[in-house]
Amino acid sequence: MANDRALKKTLLERLVLYCHFLESEAAGPASDHVSSVEIADYAEIDESQVRKDFAAIGVRGTPRVGYEVNEITGAIQETLGFDQGYRAAVVGAGRLGSALVCYPGFTRYGLHVVAAFDKDINRVGQRLCALTIEPIERIREVIAGKGVELGIVAVPARGAQDAAERLVDAGVRALWNFAPTGLTVPDDVKVRHEHLSIGLAELAYHLNRARRARSEAS
């Protein structure tokens, strides 16, 4: 089937892959230069692609030597905006919301979760890592006060649209949606839908194939 297509990597995915490689490289006994071939091997893509990508983000190498590790990481960080710093608010302080509020990895990418909201009066006021859970009614006030730019939707599916509307109403123009449902928002609002079913689909396809192979073999 056409599933090979699904495995192709977008520019964003490639840049993130490069980052991973360079991090592991930086940790090792490595030199401070890498060639496009090394990176291409790791990322399982064509070496020309790597050179194109580097050209696109403004990284230049030197023949016979390669590309400077620090220069690449810097350029990628800059391209992805990870060097800028963003303030985010999480709506929904359930298990997933808590995990996102407390996730230590975000800082590395410049994301700072500065507020968490919940509808449930029992949760409001509780501590969650460095934050105190706020009542959803205070969303406008808190978002304006803390200069939140990114809204993270971490509520169950049926509450997601409401959460999104409250965030948009409060002035947020970028949403990260973890609820398994679509959101309807104005045109000038950017939504990134982090639906797990896409990842699950990829794995399910693989498991399916493995099963079929087994049953054919027997």
Partner DNA sequence: TAGATTGTTAATCGATTAACAATC
Q: Write down the least CB distance from residue 198 to DNA, Å.
A: 15
- Binding partner of residue 49 among DNA, a copy of itself, none, CB under 5 to 8 Å per kind? DNA
Q: Write down the least CB distance from residue 69 to DNA, Å.
A: 12
Part in contact with DNA (CB under 7 A); list of ranges 63-71, 88-96, 192-200, 207-215: 63-71
Nearer to a copy of itself, 13 or 32 (CB): 13
- Count of positions on this chain that bind a copy of itself (CB under 8 A): 68
User: Which has the closest alpha carbon to 186: 176, 171, 196?
Assistant: 171
Measured CA to CA, the distance from residue 205 to residue 210 in angstroms comes to: 9
For position 67 contacting DNA by CB under 7 A, the verdict is yes
C-beta of residue 133 within 8 angstroms of C-beta of residue 117: yes
Cβ neighbors of 12 (< 8 A, separation 6 or more) are 80
Cβ neighbors of 87 (< 8 A, separation 6 or more) are 112, 114, 146, 147, 148, 149, 150
User: Which has the closest alpha carbon to 169: 83, 91, 97?
Assistant: 91
Q: Write down the least CB distance from residue 39 to a copy of itself, Å.
A: 12
For position 16 contacting a copy of itself by CB under 8 A, the verdict is yes
Measured CA to CA, the distance from residue 165 to residue 174 in angstroms comes to: 12
How distant, in Å, are the alpha carbons of 3, 59, 88, 117, 164 from that of 96? 30, 38, 15, 13, 16
For position 60 contacting a copy of itself by CB under 8 A, the verdict is no
- DSSP label of 107: G
- Binding partner of residue 200 among DNA, a copy of itself, none, CB under 5 to 8 Å per kind? a copy of itself
Nearer to DNA, 63 or 105 (CB): 63
For position 45 contacting DNA by CB under 7 A, the verdict is yes
From candidates 62, 197, 215, 218, binder to a copy of itself by CB under 8 A? 197
Instruction: List residues near DNA by CB under 7 A.
Output: 2, 4-5, 8-9, 35-37, 45-49, 51-52, 54-55, 59-67
